[in-house]
Structure 1
Amino acid sequence: MIRFKSFYLISLLILLGINSNAQVSTDLIAVDVKKTGQKIKLIPGTEVKITDRKAYDNQPNFINEKQMAFSAADESGNHDIIIYNFESKKFTNLTKSSNLNEYSPSITDCGMYISAVTVEEDGKQRLWLYPTNFGEPELLYDDIEPVGYYDWYDNKAAMFVLGSPNKLVYPYSKAEIITISQNVGRSIKKKPKSSIITYIDKNEMKEINGENSYAIKGFDLEKRTYHDFGFTYPGAEDFIWIDKNVMLTGKDNKLYSRNFKNNSWAEMGTINQPNYGKISRMAYSPKLLKLVVVMERN
């Protein structure tokens, strides 16, 4: 395992879901869904384990209609970006480097690259671009780090940068890098069909049944205005958008959905998998009508 030279980087790996002393064993599980308007339901009995090993398979993200990228640890504890094809059921290494670790893959707006947070040999953690044609990777922002999470708008990345406190930044240009918010959570998601980047604001919190619920905020990158999107489900800190209106989150082995205009989350189903515990990250394909969830092994 890489020995990181910075307290911040060790802390960031913990945020990424990786214990610095022992790997968290997680698998990717796909389930079909039925979507009618703004209502979404799991289809029981359609659960399929995409990965099944005592290692780190995490951070899924659909990159097109039939492929998904995720971060996976090899036998040496090195993390690479893997592409999974839902048609062929085959896995392909996008990266395979012994001196770098790649996390949080996502397709860029132009569709020519898969971006990833890359831990470099000297411990720097920056955003890199990996061509989909398997060409040479490119460093995107040389002076913004350590980056943990991000999402895309207008071919630029809104980035969670670890610090005291953590902050969310957006580079309108090389000369104008604005701080959107501070003390943010790890879910950084663009609201579909909008110019709004959404995030968890840990400055605003309420306790419900002994568990923390944080405000979900948004910043319109075009209008430069702030928006409120309610609160997280108590005890959950990962969310995604299913469409421009509906959000999804997970707690234990249950999934919950909510129209952002409503105050309450509604249970939409349970992922019943023997020997698996809580759900964390999620990815959704509106074309395949598939939901992929990350679940921890018990």
Structure 2
Amino acid sequence: MSRDLYDFYRSLADEADARTLPVPETLRRAADRRARVRMTGTALAAAVLVAGVATGTRLALSAEPTPVAPPGGSPTAPSPTTSPTPLTTPSGTPRTSASTSTSPARPGPTSIPDKAFFRLAAANDKGLESFQDTEALPSVCGARFPSDDTIVQRRTRSLAYKFAKNPADYVPDGSYIHTITIYKAGRADDALRELREAVQACPEQQGTGENPVTYRLRLLDDRGYGDASVLFEIRSDARDLEGNPVEGEEVRLIRAIRIDDVVTILWEQGWEGTSAERTQVDADSRRAVAAIESWLGQR
């Protein structure tokens, strides 16, 4: 063996002798520690995996299901949900949803055909009817109605009626001035409001002539006709055909009814001093509303 090789082995032995080998107990503790580290890492990885699965399950359960395409067809997208249009605010301003589309408003009528006027029931019809240009309302303390400036068209007729209990050849029991008026959009309500206010401001008025009659006006409760209505009465002391006072009272009934932008008025005028009967006026008012609704619905 050469001198150099001998010196190399000698230094290697000296270095090995200088290191202290661990005893078996020390080796066993080190091995146990490494095993616990591996088990902790495995448990942590498993916990992370379970948490990920649980989260994914919650997301899957809460997600909106996707529609299944019909056989042989393409998938159908879910219909968008449109919120209902809220009611108007207390101030009357409508609150509309951005997702709700509105169609253009249909223009109102501009002319009044004959079919817009009601027909009396057969048992009440006297066959006396004529169209004429006359006042739609009696004087109400000389009131003027600004809504008249918004009239599109007005037509008036007069007709006589009889009570169903009376024979056909019996004289009429009453008569009407019946008027239909079209107003500009949204102005028909003004006509009813102005009429109501005029009657309230005119509890009494005097007629004309040598023996003027005192007329007493009064609003009556009214509902169930068209979109809105105004009913009032005019009472006066009864007179004979010569204008002389007689016992009793004479009663006239006037009803104005709004249907959309149309107002119809029944002004009961009696016949030779007869008085209006509410039941007859009510029945003919319902027929008047039905005729106008039919006309507007057929436009």
TM-score (norm 1): 0.24
Q: More helix by proportion, 1 or 2?
A: 2
Larger radius of gyration: 2
TM-score (norm 2): 0.24
